[in-house]
Structure 1
Amino acid sequence: MSRLTREEAAAGIRRGELLLVLIVATGIGILSMNMVLPSLPGMADEFGVGYNAVQYVLTVFLFALSFAQLVYGSLSDRFGRRPVMIAGFVVFIAGSLLCAVAWSLPVLLVGRFIQGAGGCAGMVLGRAILRDLYDRDRAASLLGYVTMSMVLAPMLGPAIGGGFEETLGWRAGIFSVAAVAAGVLVLVWLRLPETHYNRGVSTGFLNQFRSFTVLARSPVFLCYAGTMSCTTGTFFAFLGAAPFIVIEVMGRGPGEFGLWAMMIAFGYMIGNFVTGRYAERVGTRRMIFYGILVSLVGTAILLALARFGPAIPIVLFAPMMLVTFSNGLVMASAVTSSVSVRPDLAGAASGLGGFLQIGTGAIATIVVGLAHDGTAVPMALIILAFALGAAGCFALAVRYPDPVETPIH
C-alpha cells in the first residue's frame, strides 16, 4: 500500500479512493448529457413537436453546464469543495427526476437545465480538489486519470441510452441516471473530505465573482486558458462538421459514424493515460509542448488528406485520432497550470476556465457550420486554426516566470 502524503493524511483519504470518487462524480454529468441523444426522435413524437425543437434538450443542458461552472468554482472557494459538491448532486438528482416525469417539452427543458446545472459540479470541483491536495505536476498526472471518465462517458452514453430507448424507454434511462447519482451522492457524503481550508471571509454572493476580475487581469491565466480553450475548439469543430460529411457526403450510415467516432474518443483516452503516467516526471510545460507539436502534425495531415485524399472516413478519423491524442497530452497540464496561477482562487479558475472551454467549443461548431461547402477542407482549416491558436497562447505563456519549473527555451 502506498504511503500517504502529508496532504492526503490531513484530508483523511487515500489517493486511489479519492480518484474513484472524482472519476464517478465527473463522469455522471457527461453521461447524462449525451445519453438522451438516441431518444430525441422518440421524444419529438411523444411530445408532438418537430425535431428542431426537441434538439434544445441538448442545447439547454450545455447552456446550464457552461454558466454553472462559474458559480460552482466561486462558491467552492468561499464555502469549501465538499458542501458545494453535495449541493450540486442534490440539484442534479432533482433535475433528473423532473426530466423523467416530464409531461411536456417545456417541462423537460426545465428539468434538463436543472440537471445540467447540477451535473457540472464534479467536473469543476474535481480539478480544484486535486490542486488543493497536490503540487501542480502531480495534480496534472492524477487529473489525466480523472478526465478519462470524460471520454468513456461520451462513448458509453449513446449506447446505454439507445438500449433503454429500445427496451424500457428514455424515462427509465433517466431514472437510472438519478439512481446512480444518488449512489454517488452517498459516496461523496461518506468519503469525500473537505480539501480547501484557505477559504475567503467576504460575505455576499456577488463578491465571489471578484475572483474572475483578478483572474482576467492575469496574463498567465489567460494564456493557459486560451491554450486549453483552443485545444477544445479542435475537437468541437470536428464534431460539428464530421457527422454531415460522413453521413451525407460520404454516404455512410449513422451507426458506422458512431463506430468511427470511437477512434477519436480512444485517442483522447490514450493521451490522458500517457499524461497520468508521465506528467509528473516530464513536467506540465513540456507535456503541453509535446502535445501541441503532435496536434500541429495531426491537423496538417488532416488538411492534406481532406484536400487530396479519397472520400472515405479513415482519412478524417485517423489524423483526428492523432489530434485528440494530443488533446489528452495538453488538457490536464493546461488546466492544472491555469488553476496554479492563484491557488487561493483555484475553484474560480477552474470554473472560469471550463466556461471558456465550452464557450470556445460552441463557437467552433458555429464557425464550422458557416464555413461548410460540402467538403472536409473548411473543417480541416478551422481545426488547424484552433491548433495554431493553442500554440500561440502557449508560446505567450512560457514567456512568463513559472514558479514550478523552468520554461521551455
Structure 2
Amino acid sequence: MTDTVAETVADGIKRGQLLVILIVATGLGVMSMNMVLPSLPSMAREFDTSYNAAQYVLTVFLFALSFAQLIYGVVSDRFGRRPVIIAGLVIFLVGSLMSALAWNLEMLLVGRFIQGAGGCAALVLGRAILRDLFTRDQAASLLGYVTMSMVLAPMLGPALGGLFEETLGWRAGILLLVVVGVGVTALVALRLPETHYNRGESSGFGPLIRSFWILAHNRLFLCFAAVMSFTSATFFGFIGGAPYIVIELMGRSPGEFGLWAMMLAAGYMLGNFVTGRYAQRVGTRRMISFGVILGVVGATALIVMAVAGPNIPIALFGPMMLVTFSNGLVMASAVSSSVSVRPDLAGAAAGLGGFLQMGAATVATIVVGATHNGTAIPLAIVIGACASAAFLAFLAAMRFPDPIEEPGH
C-alpha cells in the first residue's frame, strides 16, 4: 500500500480496518462456494443420483451469484452499500441453514441457490466500496491485497470440506458457515461505514435497466468484463470437474483432494500479492497483459498433460496453479478497469461485470459436466478455450484509449 492513500478513509474507520471487514465478508461467500467440492461424489451417493447432477450444487450457487449481482450493484447505488451488504448476509444465513438441513437433492439445490444469492453481496459491493474511496489504480492495488488475503477462504474451504467429509460429514461444514456467518453479520452491522453518498433519487427497475443499457453499449466495459468472465471461467470450470477426476478416477480421498486444491489458492494468492505490490506502479493494463499471456501458457500445459495421461494429481494441479497465478494478476486490475469506465455507475458496473463473470463460470461448469468422457482431456480443452478467449478480449480492449483517471469519490 502507498502513502498517498489516506490512513482514515470514511467515518473514522482506518484503511486496515475497512480491508479486514471486506476480507471476512467476502471470504465467507467464497468459502461457502467451494467447501462442498470434496463432498460432491458422496452427495451423489447419498441422494442416489449421478455426479453430473450432484455437480449442480456448485452450478446453482454460481447461477445465483451471477444474477444476484445484477441487483446488488444498482440497488446499492440507490440505497447505499452498507444496508445492502447486511441484507445479503442475512439471506446467506437462511440459505446455509436450508442446505445443512436438506433431506434431498432438490432442497439442497434451493438452499445453495439462496446461499449464493446472499453470499455474493459483499463480493460485488466490496469492489464498489473501494472504487467509492480510491482512484482506479489505488483501488486495483487495494483490491489485490483484499483478494490475496481472502484467498485463505478458498484455500481452507476444500481442505476443511474434505476434513468434515471424512469425519463429521458435509452438513457439519455448512453449519460451521452458519456460525461464522452470524459473527460476520454482526461485525458488518457494527463497524462498516457507508461509503456511497452521491445516491440517486430514483429507484426501481427503470434506473437499473438504464444503467445496464448504458454499460452494455460501452465497448470498453464489455471488453474488460469479457476478460474477467473468461479468466474466472478457467478456475470454476476446473473445480467443477476436478473432484470427480481426482476422487473417482484417480482413487484419491476427499481430504487429499482438498489439500491439492490448496495449490490453486496459493497460485491465486501469489498473483494477487504481485498485483497488490505492483499494480499502481506498472498500471492495470500492463498487469492484465502479463496475466492473460501466462493464462494461455498454463492452459496449454494442462492440455499437454491431459493428453499425455499421467494419472496423478500433480499433472492437473501443477499447470492449473500457473493458471490461477495468472488469474491473480488479471482479476483485480480487470475489475478496477471495468468499474472505472463509468465511475458514476460503479455499483451497476460491478453488478453487471459480476453477473457476466459468474455467468461464464456457470456455463463452464455445465460444459465440463456435459463433455465428461472419463478422462481429463475435455476439462483441459475447456480451460484452454477460456484462457484464449480472455487473451483475445484483452487485445480488443487495447484498441481503446485508456480513460482519464479520476478520483473514486
Smaller-chain TM-score bracket: 0.7 to 0.9
Structure 1 runs of 4+ with >6 Å offset = 1-4, 41-46
Work out the CA distance in 2 between the residues paired with 1:309 and 1:106. Answer: 36
**1:373-398 per-position Cα deviation (integer Å, ceiling 9, x unaligned):** 55444433332222221111111111
Q: Which residue of 1 aligns with 2:71?
A: 71
CA contact (8 A) 2:62 2:361 kept: no
Aligned counterparts, 1:147-186, within 5 A = 147-148=147-148, 151-164=151-164, 170-186=170-186
Q: Which has the larger radius of gyration?
A: 1
Q: Which residue of 2 aligns with 1:284?
A: 284
- After superposition, the Cα gap between the structure-2 partners of 1:203 and 1:324, relative to the gap in structure 1 and judged at 3 Å, is closer
What secondary structure is seen at the aligned counterpart in 2 of 1:148? helix
**1:114-173 per-position Cα deviation (integer Å, ceiling 9, x unaligned):** 222111111011111011111111111111122235532222223334444555555544
Q: Which residue of 2 aligns with 1:89?
A: 89
**1:201-224 per-position Cα deviation (integer Å, ceiling 9, x unaligned):** 223244323211111000000000
What residue identity is the alignment partner of 2:158?
P
CA contact (8 A) 1:74 1:209 kept: no
Question: For structure 1, which segment, 255-264 or 183-192, has the greater mean C-alpha deviation from structure 2 after superposition?
Answer: 255-264
What secondary structure is seen at the aligned counterpart in 1 of 2:151? helix
Structure 2 unmatched ranges of 5 or more: none
Shift of 1:88: 1.1
- After superposition, the Cα gap between the structure-2 partners of 1:298 and 1:32, relative to the gap in structure 1 and judged at 3 Å, is closer
Aligned counterparts, 1:23-34, within 5 A = 23-34=23-34
RMSD: 2.9
Aligned counterparts, 1:23-172, within 5 A = 23-38=23-38, 50=49, 56-102=56-102, 106-148=106-148, 151-164=151-164, 170-172=170-172
State TM-score, norm by structure 2. 0.88
CA contact (8 A) 1:40 1:51 kept: no
- After superposition, the Cα gap between the structure-2 partners of 1:223 and 1:245, relative to the gap in structure 1 and judged at 3 Å, is same
**1:161-187 per-position Cα deviation (integer Å, ceiling 9, x unaligned):** 444455555554433322222211221
What residue identity is the alignment partner of 2:278?
Y
CA contact (8 A) 2:221 2:338 kept: yes
Question: For structure 1, which segment, 186-195 or 56-65, has the greater mean C-alpha deviation from structure 2 after superposition?
Answer: 56-65
Question: For structure 1, which segment, 104-113 or 387-396, has the greater mean C-alpha deviation from structure 2 after superposition?
Answer: 104-113
- After superposition, the Cα gap between the structure-2 partners of 1:303 and 1:116, relative to the gap in structure 1 and judged at 3 Å, is closer
Shift of 1:349: 1.1
Structure 1 unmatched ranges of 5 or more: none
Give % identity.
Answer: 69
State TM-score, norm by structure 1. 0.88
Shift of 1:325: 0.6
- After superposition, the Cα gap between the structure-2 partners of 1:262 and 1:159, relative to the gap in structure 1 and judged at 3 Å, is closer
How many residues of Structure 1 are paired with residues of Structure 2 in the alignment?
Answer: 404
- After superposition, the Cα gap between the structure-2 partners of 1:236 and 1:219, relative to the gap in structure 1 and judged at 3 Å, is same
What residue identity is the alignment partner of 1:120?
C
Work out the CA distance in 1 between the residues paired with 2:11 and 2:30. Answer: 27
Work out the CA distance in 1 between the residues paired with 2:10 and 2:217. Answer: 33
What secondary structure is seen at the aligned counterpart in 2 of 1:120? helix
Aligned counterparts, 1:392-407, within 5 A = 392-404=392-404
Question: For structure 1, which segment, 105-114 or 138-147, has the greater mean C-alpha deviation from structure 2 after superposition?
Answer: 105-114
